A = this chain, B = another copy of it.
Amino acid sequence: MVEIAADPSHPRYQSLLMRHRLEQAEKKGMLAGSALIAHGRGEAFDYLLGEQTIPSALIATQHSLAILSAAQHPVISLNGNVVALAGKEVLHLAHLLQCPVEINIFYRTPERMKALLDHLNEIKQQEEFDVEILGAEPDARIPGLEGPRANCSKQGIFDSDVILVPLEDGDRCEALVAMGKTVLVIDLNPLSRTARMASVTIVDELSRVITNMNRMLLSNEPVQQVKNYQNSQTLQETLGHIATFLSSKV
């Protein structure tokens, strides 16, 4: 059992809160077996960022939000960890953007799908968010992928022009890019295949990113697309930041 610090100013408050959310999600059957290991990998990379939103990530966040806001058919793709870690924040973002979310999980079982849908619908009702939750009945396939992981909703991911996919798998990121979509990802590992394949990579912790986006939208802070955005430059700046962090510890 994870003990959550009572005081949000505790330096490990956020990190313990995220672990607590995963623990609750596991009890509800929302997570795949690899979920906790994946989260641990993220924790290590976040540690190397100093557990903060670094400047290049904030720019990538603003750029992504501007692209989402201007999209014709935006969609937010959700997996188990995303729903567990930031289900409420993500539904709030979708509510503000007036775009659907789609549950799209790698290890698809009816039990996990039901647990995730129930959890999201509960939040949606409690918070009175006006958001369409897709994914329950996939009726299209992502070309280039095999098996159940190719399943998606025509109205959601398949027909989208812009897709925000936090914590995505490399194969699926590649397949979505190959479909011609603008793929915005949130990934703490700047060296992952997902990070390298995406149109825009936000190297930052999921709940921080979504909270930043919601804050920008609620404050009417103007967010603009970066002209001639180069994702490789974002990744380079991130690696530079980590290298400086490591040097400071020597």
Binding site for B on A (CB under 8 A): 1-2, 19, 22-23, 33-34, 36-45, 47, 189, 191, 236, 239-240, 242-243, 246-247, 249-250
The reply to whether B33 and A2 contact each other, CB–CB distance below 8 Å, is: yes
Distance in angstroms between the alpha carbons of A145 and B61 in the assembled complex: 44
The one of B22, B47, B240 in contact with A250, judged by C-beta atoms closer than 8 angstroms, is: B240
Q: Please, which residues of chain B bring their CB within 8 A of the CB of A23?
A: 33
Distance in angstroms between the alpha carbons of A189 and B47 in the assembled complex: 10
Q: Please, which residues of chain B bring their CB within 8 A of the CB of A34?
A: 2, 19
Q: Across the two chains, which residue of chain B brings its CB closest to A36?
A: B36
Q: Across the two chains, which residue of chain B brings its CB closest to A240?
A: B250
Q: Which of the listed residues A36, A42, A242 has the most CB atoms from chain B within 10 Å of its own CB?
A: A36
Distance in angstroms between the alpha carbons of A247 and B249 in the assembled complex: 17
A44: min CB distance to chain B, Å? 3
Distance in angstroms between the alpha carbons of A94 and B44 in the assembled complex: 31
Q: Which of the listed residues A1, A39, A41 has the most CB atoms from chain B within 10 Å of its own CB?
A: A41
**Nearest 10 A-B pairs (CB), nearest first?**
A40-B40, A44-B44, A36-B36, A37-B40, A41-B44, A40-B41, A239-B246, A243-B243, A236-B250, A36-B37
The one of B1, B44, B45, B247 in contact with A243, judged by C-beta atoms closer than 8 angstroms, is: B247
Q: Which of the listed residues A22, A39, A250 has the most CB atoms from chain B within 10 Å of its own CB?
A: A250
The reply to whether A249 and B42 contact each other, CB–CB distance below 8 Å, is: no
CB-defined A-B contacts under 8 Å, sample of 19:
A19-B34, A19-B37, A22-B37, A36-B40, A37-B37, A37-B40, A40-B40, A40-B41, A40-B43, A41-B41, A41-B44, A41-B47, A44-B189, A191-B246, A191-B249, A236-B250, A239-B246, A239-B249, A246-B246
Distance in angstroms between the alpha carbons of A158 and B236 in the assembled complex: 49
Q: Please, which residues of chain B bring their CB within 8 A of the CB of A40?
A: 36-44
